[in-house]
Amino acid sequence: MSEKTHGMLPYLSSIRSPQQVTGSLIKTMYARRWGISGDKVWYLSVMPCFDKKLEACRQDFAENGVRDVDCVITTAE
């Protein structure tokens, strides 16, 4: 929210959230361990906040067209 409406993007941390780190680890480290490519792994995240859906859709959390998190549902859903 703050990056779109308040112009705070230059002041935000570049560190990934736990949701994005987990998705990245599953799609790289575990995919290698299982002997498959990361685009064959589908990662669902269950989070308490609706903003995590927006975070997962960001283009900077996708390498070579493969998103770190494929789907996010909230605990309310």
Residue 75, pLDDT score: 93
Residue 61, pLDDT score: 80
- Dist. CA 65–CA 42, nearest whole Å: 13
pTM of the model: 0.75
- Cβ atoms 67, 61 nearer than 8 A: yes
| 3-class DSSP assignment, residue 57 | helix
Residue 16, pLDDT score: 86
